[in-house]
Amino acid sequence: MTEVRRLVISGIVQGVGFRYAMMAQARLLGVSGWVRNRRDGSVEAMIAGDAGQVAAMLEWSRRGPGGASVDDVMVETASGEYTDFELRPTA
């Protein structure tokens, strides 16, 4: 069964390659969805996969790539169907 979560990740998460690293990690794990920067300095993502894939992505999101410093990850249950993981424009 596919689980879908919306994440808003705050901290030092822009200008450190967070979106590209998240896309690489999602593709490695077989997770679909999208990621984008937000004008408030956070990163927003929609992730979809089985329970194990979503849990692994959430764990990664709390750390991020090497240059990031994650302060908080807000997680909401969401819905939607995605076939790949993509970068979206800033919102």
Return the HEC string of the chain.
Answer: CCEEEEEEEEEECCCCCHHHHHHHHHHHHCCEEEEEECCCCCEEEEEEECHHHHHHHHHHHCCCCCCCEEEEEEEEECCCCCCCEEECCCC
Structure tokens at 90: 């800033």
Concerning whether 36 is annotated as a catalytic residue, the answer is no
Concerning whether 6 is annotated as a catalytic residue, the answer is no
Token match 């956070």: residue?
42
Catalytic member of 6, 19, 39, 63: 19
Catalytic member of 37, 39, 63, 88: 37
Catalytic positions, written as ranges: 19, 37
